[in-house]
Structure formats: C-alpha cells, structure tokens
Structure 1
Amino acid sequence: MSQTEWQKSTYSGDRDDCVELCRRNDRIAIRESDAPRVIVNASRTQLQALLAHARADARWQKSSFSTDAVECIELAACEPRILTRESDAPRTVISTSPAPARALIARAKAGRLDRERAAR
C-alpha cells in the first residue's frame, strides 16, 4: 500500500470521524480522517499492543482530584502499559509506559504543570 492509499476502519461509519491506516515500508501509519495531518507511525507489534490495550477490560480509576462531575481523568493499569482517558470521552485512550506516567503525575502533584502553563 502506498503512502496515499489510506484504508478506512471497518468500524467507521459514513461520517468523517474515522480512523484510517496506511502501510509505509515496515511501519503502519494511523490518522483520523478529520485531522489528516496528524499521523502516528507504529510497527505491527506496537499496533497490536495498542489494540489489545484498547480492547482490554481495564479497571479504570478516577483521579483523586476529580469531583463527582463527568469531567475527570481516569487511569488503568494494563501491564505493561498505563492507560489514560477522560471520563467524558472514554473511547479515546492514551497508552504510555509507567515511567512517563509517574513523571507526569509527579509534575502535576508538584504544581509544575500550572506554573509552566502560566509562564507561556
């Protein structure tokens, strides 16, 4: 498949909010049809791991800083990855390894993210 031969996900409907895939040498490029310039490249193994995590029946834990409202961050351990999502958009999941997740949580607890944002 060439760089211009994007395949639409079989789960996508007729609207423009779908995931598209394209083979690029030994990598698989992934993008959303409504944001075609943002492309994630993954190996076959990485894509399989991502899909396994996305399908996993993870135990989601709400952030202790969240209220009872629906706008909160949720985390789940799905060995060896850490999954993150917003409660109001549960189908959008970010997968990372434990070290970057710990670093992000430490920065947030220390209030360093707020200061960086204010400095911009």
Structure 2
Amino acid sequence: MKDSSIEETGDTRPGAETLQTVQIWDPLLRLFKWSLTISVAAAWGLGMFGPDIMTLHFWFGYAVLGLLAFRLVWGLWGPEHARFKSFAYGPVAILKYVFGMFRRKPSYWPG
C-alpha cells in the first residue's frame, strides 16, 4: 500500500507543499496478512465442516501460531512502518485525529 504525505519544498508560498509517495507495506507484511487470513479461514472451515480427522485443522492452527510469532518479532525489529511504535499513538494524537476527521481538509495521515 502506498500513501501520501507532505514534504516541504523550501518554497514559502501558500500551498507550495508537494505530495510524496511513501511505501507503507513491505512484502513480508503483505505475505503475513494473506497467510494469516487463509490459515484462519481454513482452520475454521475444517473445524466446522471438515472430516472427523482434525489433523489439517491442527496444522493450520500451528501455522496461525507461527505467523503470530513472526508478527511479534517483525513488530519489534522489522522495518519502520511494520513496527508497533509506528502505529501506537497516545490519547492526545487519537483525539486530534478524530476531531480532525470532521474538517473538510486532507489529513495526510499515513496508513
């Protein structure tokens, strides 16, 4: 996913900012999200409608646990936009964002 943010151009005229394209999602994070989606759906489907032998259901459950362990590691030591600190905001920032949603101006909020 690519997102836009404001970059200063050095020009002092009003509205002189330019948009910069920033890549937010890295390929491993995309692979994680789709793998987690498929694994959870497969485990649920096999648990509800699958055969009485639950081996595949358990393997998909193990895959979910492995993927969650990967995300924990990636959230602590991965690239900047994959880290937990890049999307964990405090109450003041959240309130500013919520009240800013009602203004008719773009926020340039990444993500």
Q: Provide the TM-score with structure 2 as the length reference.
A: 0.27
Higher-RCO chain (CA-CA 8 Å, sequence separation at least 6): 2
Q: Provide the TM-score with structure 1 as the length reference.
A: 0.25
Greater percentage in helix = 2
